[in-house]
A and B are shown apart, each in its own frame.
Chain A
Amino acid sequence: MIELKDATKKLGNFTLGPLNVNLEKGSYSVVLGPSGAGKTLFMEIIAGLSDLDSGTIRINGRDALDLPPQRRSIGFCYQDYALFPNMDVFENIAFGLRLRKHRDIKPKVGKIARVMGIQDLLKRDVKDLSGGEKQRVALARALVIDPDILLLDEPLSALDKASALQLIKELKRIHRSRPKLTIIHITHDFDEALSLAEKVLVMNNGRILQSGEPREVFNKPKDPFVASFVGLKNIYKGWVGSHDGVPVFETGDLKFRVITDCEGDAYATIAAHDVIISIEPSETSARNHFEGIVKDMEDKGMLMELTVDIGVDLTVTITKESALRMDLHDGKRCHVLIKATAIHVFKA
């Protein structure tokens, strides 16, 4: 388990924290945030490569504040892999074992190389490897010493799509096969987080804005930054009032029937796939009903992304099939239905 309490670190003009983080042993956490959010510094603090200015850090129940990186049992994979260019693949992987004066270095390196599918590369110079191969070597080098914690800094960002998908599979397999290994993975890509994370920590400007299960963070962001970062298109600022005793979110001239405990200034988000479009007005269980005009249509492969003007711009995704059947086009009038439960409201 990794536990940070009120942890802060100043680096020039940048301040990280105060951070309060709890990561379960054996969990897969993804730290999500734009570049410059402080994600790498966060990782380096866990690794002991950077000292805290204040606060505490505990790893597996032990105070780790003064524990040097050599004794934290950590595997660290940097974004650009940081393979040692003066050594071949075998020597890179064997590096940590040699320091531990392991016997059986050869079989151990051979075993992890087979697991990572790089057994044929062992004699190769690291400069001659592809990005995906380098990433596997870096992972093998980190995993061969059997660490308690694996830190991955943007592991997929430099890979082409096919290699990235392959590596996601690989990471899932590593997570499954090592139930005690705590994995922390940095990314700026929400889809990557969704496919791997058990827990997501959204970070910006040195702070963790929200953490939780990825679905929950996506569906119920607590902050406009989180909402836009996880890819929500419909974020509205307004205020929550009461209408006949039921809560209503107002933005401009629009009123949305919502379910919330919030009052006063607030934000509302609506997931684009939770909106229903119809041509004829129809009686449904949806509490919010607007008339709108299709302003824009964007082809997204299987899906069609519409921008509908209902007084504010609302992004809606529907299948291409539906768009064709309803003969939707720019300027077409339509009806928009949104369930009160599909609108997520949080305090401004």
Chain B
Amino acid sequence: MTKAKGFVAVFIIMGTVIVLFVVLPIFGIGIATPIHSLLETARDAEVISSIKLTFLSGLFATLFAVLFGTPLAYILARYRFPMREVVESIIDLPVVIPHSAAGIALLTVLGRNTTIGHAFSVIGIHFTGTAIGITTAMAFVSVPFYINAAKEGFASVDRKLEKTAYTLGASGSRAFFSITLPLAKNHLVSGAIMMWARAISEFGAIVILAYHPMVAPVLVYERFESYGLAYSRPVAWLIILISLVAFTSLRLMTRRRRH
């Protein structure tokens, strides 16, 4: 037993290092930011509009993924087909490529002078320097978070439940909406939250596709570049706080629903 105790103690110490590693910078920025400058920043129109833009763009990116990604996640979870693993790897790509490179790639196919970019501009949709561009960049880099969670959710629903529903007379869509979807719901919601969180923290891809209008991460960077650390700190702290509050409350909401 003594041996096991020592072993656990070492693990606890190592674990503490990781926790401090994450907590310290966040704690530090909070201490370093005077409360009056935080309040001042919270009244800054540019800051408010950029936070609004960030959160809404993230929301739309997530809604887009939920709408189009849910069917894909279901198919990936349920069916074995040739190239399935290829499709899965494609979906994971945005996680492994540098996000600035992702931004360049997006700009290359969606820029003003590209075929796709031009085709969309005919119907009034522009990707560069617009909220739509921001949403697109966010969706690109964060969609794996939703798809993978949704896929796991669908895989966790026993196939036999759907089969039983069929024998009882349910159509494919009826079985999906009354059995599979409700049972996978928690995974889907938590995947959507993760995706949304990832979307609002995106910087690299957005800064290339749409520097303006400025989302919060770009605003922090811009203030740091133009005015220095002290001036960018309150904005950074405010965004961290809002993100923490939003993320924690969403988590709590879904957890309560689960019980």
Contacts and interface: CB of A to CB of B under 8 A. Distances in A.
Number of contact residues on A: which range applies? Answer: 20 to 34
Given A82-B158, A85-B183, A99 B174 contact: yes
Contacts of A291: none
B160 interface: yes
B166 A69 contact: yes
Nearest to B181: A86
Contacts of A85: 183
Interface in A62-85: 68-70, 72, 74-76, 78, 80, 82, 84-85
B52 interface: no
8 contacts: A47-B167, A68-B166, A69-B167, A75-B168, A95-B165, A95-B170, A99-B168, A145-B168
B179 A84 contact: yes
B49 interface: no
A105 to B, nearest CB: 13
B169 interface: yes
A161 interface: no
A86 B168 contact: no
Number of contact residues on B: which range applies? Answer: 10 to 19
Interface in B161-185: 161, 163-171, 174, 178-179, 182-183
Interface in A2-61: 44, 47-49
A129 to B, nearest CB: 16
A142 B163 CA distance: 13
A82 B168 contact: no
Interface string A306-337: 00000000000000000000000000000000
Contacts of A49: 163, 166-167
A82 B169 contact: no
B153 to A, nearest CB: 13
Contacts of A173: none
B164 A82 contact: yes
Given A96-B168, A145-B168, A86 B163 contact: no
A100 interface: yes
Contacts of B161: 82, 84
Given A70-B170, A96-B168, A145-B168, A44 B163 contact: yes
Contacts of A78: 160, 163-164
Nearest to B179: A84
Most buried by B among A72, A74, A75, A84: A84
B183 A145 contact: no
A257 interface: no
Interface string B181-203: 01100000000000000000000
B234 to A, nearest CB: 46
A141 interface: yes
Contacts of A72: 167
Contacts of B167: 47, 49, 69-70, 72, 74-76, 142
A228 to B, nearest CB: 31
Contacts of B174: 99
